[in-house]
């Protein structure tokens, strides 16, 4: 069996990769419980790629109920070493308007009450992993190179602020995040990135900007219809980009 070149975790609006061929479905269980759903492993432009829908294929799991540990452990168990996290996000600063694709290089964690470490259970080894650069620099570099090759516009850098959800933020919360230095806001970036580091997985985020965050841009009310339409439009070139990343 060919090794898995890349694992992709899909976020809101991205529940599968329609372009995968020869798809096998793997129901994986892990020491941390079950992942959000089956892992689909298929061929994309000649490379084996695994796909997992973070919220479940029917979008049944809110961000704080996702078993992030099981999702990442499942991908590791089937042999993945590199993870591309697709995260639907709101844009805060001016370069990050709706339909922009962005590869952030920093994050701030505002989530609470989520199991955020493999060291949770009594008696488990206590891990203090380096997390200064939360996204694997080499994989970021490869994603940006793949974007260049495929002619996909991806903004290089930015700070992702992870909020608790599932509600969207208040304007004051977003104003605070802007003061903190956040460019993007999403609900699922943590603890996923930290757990990937603990598991020794290379991990990169591709933010898909679905809307202006509260009080930003035109300041209009955010609707789910707008979010899904923008994710769909911004995702058109993703299979080619993901195929190119899987190649390198």
Q: Using the structure block, give the residue that is written with the tokens 């000649």.
A: 46
Kindly state the smallest distance separating residue 101's Cβ from ligand HPA, in Å. 14
Number of residues that bind ligand HPA (CB under 6 A): 14
Please say which residue, 87 or 116, places its beta carbon nearer to ligand HPA. Answer: 87
Which residue in the shown chain puts its C-beta closest to ligand HPA?
90
67, 34 Cβ separation under 8 angstroms:
yes
Q: Closest approach of Cβ 75 to ligand HPA, in Å?
A: 22
Distance between first and last Cα of the chain: 19
Rounded to an integer, what distance in angstroms lies between the CA atom of residue 143 and that of residue 133? 16
Alpha helices in the chain (DSSP H): 68-77, 137-150, 171-180, 192-198, 224-234, 238-247
Residues linked to residue 211 through DSSP beta bridges, in sequence order: 90
Distance CA 36, CA 226 (A): 25
Q: Which of residues 169-188 bind ligand HPA (CB under 6 A)?
A: 169, 185-187
Tokens of 180: 């903190």
| CB count in 10 Å sphere of residue 2 | 10
The least CB distance from residue 63 to ligand HPA, in Å, is 8
In angstroms, give the least distance from the CB of 129 to ligand HPA. Answer: 25
Q: How far is the CB of 149 from ligand HPA (least distance, A)?
A: 28
- Establish if 192 lies at the interface with ligand HPA (CB under 6 A): no
C-beta of 100 vs 210, nearer to ligand HPA = 210
Mark the segment that binds ligand HPA (CB under 6 A) among 28-36, 43-51, 117-125, 162-170. 162-170
Cβ partners under 8 Å of residue 189, min gap 6: 85, 87, 107, 109, 160, 162, 205
Q: How far, in Å, CA of 142 to CA of 199, rounded?
A: 20
117 appears as a binding residue in the annotation: no
- Per the document, the length of the chain is 248
**Region from 28-36, 43-51, 64-72, 207-215 binding ligand HPA, contact rule CB under 6 A:** 207-215
188 is in an annotated binding site: yes
Closer residue to ligand HPA (CB): 67 or 230: 230
> Shortest gap between Cβ of 147 and ligand HPA (angstroms)?
21
112 is in an annotated binding site: no
Residue 23: enclosing H or E segment and its boundaries?
strand 21-26
Q: Please enumerate, by residue number, every residue annotated as part of a binding site for substrate.
A: 187, 211-213
Contact footprint for ligand HPA (CB under 6 A) = 88-90, 163, 168-169, 185-187, 210-211, 213, 222, 227
Q: Please enumerate, by residue number, every residue annotated as part of a binding site for phosphate.
A: 12, 54-55, 188
């Amino acid at each position: 069996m060919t090794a898995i070149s890349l694992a992709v975790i899909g976020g809101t609006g991205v529940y599968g990769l329609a372009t995968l061929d020869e798809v096998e479905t793997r129901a994986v269980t892990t020491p941390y419980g079950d992942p959000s759903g089956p892992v689909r492993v298929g061929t994309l432009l000649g490379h084996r790629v695994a796909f997992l829908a973070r919220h479940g294929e029917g979008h049944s799991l809110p961000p704080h109920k996702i078993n992030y540990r099981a999702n990442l452990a499942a991908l590791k168990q089937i042999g993945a070493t590199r993870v591309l996290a697709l995260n639907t996000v709101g844009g805060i600063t001016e370069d990050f308007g709706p339909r922009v694709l962005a590869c952030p290089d920093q994050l701030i964690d505002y989530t609470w009450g989520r199991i955020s470490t493999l060291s949770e259970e009594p008696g488990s080894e206590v891990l203090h992993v380096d997390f200064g650069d939360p996204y694997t620099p080499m994989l970021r570099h490869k994603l940006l190179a793949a974007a260049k090759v495929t002619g996909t516009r991806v903004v290089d850098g930015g700070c992702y602020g992870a909020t608790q959800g599932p509600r969207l933020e208040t304007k004051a919360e977003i104003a605070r995040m802007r003061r903190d230095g956040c460019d993007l806001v999403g609900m699922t970036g943590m603890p996923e990135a930290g757990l990937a580091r603990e598991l020794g997985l290379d991990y990169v985020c591709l933010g898909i900007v679905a809307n202006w965050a509260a009080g930003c841009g035109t300041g209009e009310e955010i609707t789910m219809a707008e979010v899904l339409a923008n994710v769909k439009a911004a995702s058109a070139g993703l299979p080619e980009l993901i195929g190119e990343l899987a190649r390198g």
